[in-house]
Chains A and B, each alone.
Chain A
Amino acid sequence: GNSVTQMEGPVTLSEEAFLTINCTYTATGYPSLFWYVQYPGEGLQLLLKATKADDKGSNKGFEATYRKETTSFHLEKGSVQVSDSAVYFCALPFYNQGGKLIFGQGTELSVKP
């Protein structure tokens, strides 16, 4: 079946460190892929997305490239800030099933000054 596997956390980094959060998926065909972020006390927000293979999604300094050969969508940021501390979720939408989302388990990131 369709699934998303995400690197477990928590991840603790120092400010300006490089971040990678791994995400791999299993799905039929080539679905869109999303990264959502949940900042403390807030709801989930769409961080970035990619709609087809080799697409690169980017937002707020974060990037993720849709790689069909490795079925991956790893999230990266070159220099994290304290304000990036949040929980990050990789997600796969099913448009032929009403658009429901399948999520990875979430990775909690804590950035220390």
Chain B
Amino acid sequence: EAGVTQFPSHSVIEKGQTVTLRCDPISGHDNLYWYRRVMGKEIKFLLHFVKESKQDESGMPNNRFLAERTGGTYSTLKVQPAELEDSGVYFCASSRTGVREQYFGPGTRLTVT
């Protein structure tokens, strides 16, 4: 089966611009997670979808971040407007209901200049 895919792999934008990251989970995985690693620090949880519903968005840094999961399939994470501190690598992961292992995508490296 195909793995988790993320697009783009790398994005460079200027402060104040908008960027949308996309994640396609493994088919049949109801759980979808977003994480972020900033400046070589630990990977931090952002939010969790179960199908199309947000189960936990306690890790979202502020209201400049908006995540959606259309029809319970792919998910997007929009940053608007982007700030310098938003630079980092954004990971997406998915898992089946009742299965503990999360499968991660390769990440999107976001650079805000």
Contacts and interface: CB of A to CB of B under 8 A. Distances in A.
Given A43-B105, A43-B106, A95-B100, A102 B40 contact: no
Given A89-B43, A106-B40, A100 B33 contact: yes
Interface in B25-82: 31, 33, 35, 37, 40-45, 48, 50, 55-56, 59
Nearest to B44: A103
A101 to B, nearest CB: 7
- Chain A interface mostly: strand
Interface residues of B, number: 27
A42 B107 CA distance: 8
Contact of A106 (B37, B55, B101, B104): B37
Interface string A57-92: 000000000000000000000000000000001000
Contacts, number: 62
B67 to A, nearest CB: 14
A41 interface: yes
A99 B41 contact: no
B43 A98 contact: no
Contacts of A102: 45
A43 B104 contact: yes
30 contacts: A4-B42, A6-B42, A42-B106, A43-B104, A44-B91, A44-B93, A45-B104, A95-B100, A97-B56, A98-B48, A98-B55, A98-B56, A99-B95, A99-B100, A99-B102, A100-B56, A100-B59, A101-B35, A101-B45, A101-B93, A101-B102, A103-B35, A103-B42, A103-B43, A103-B44, A104-B42, A105-B40, A105-B42, A106-B37, A106-B42
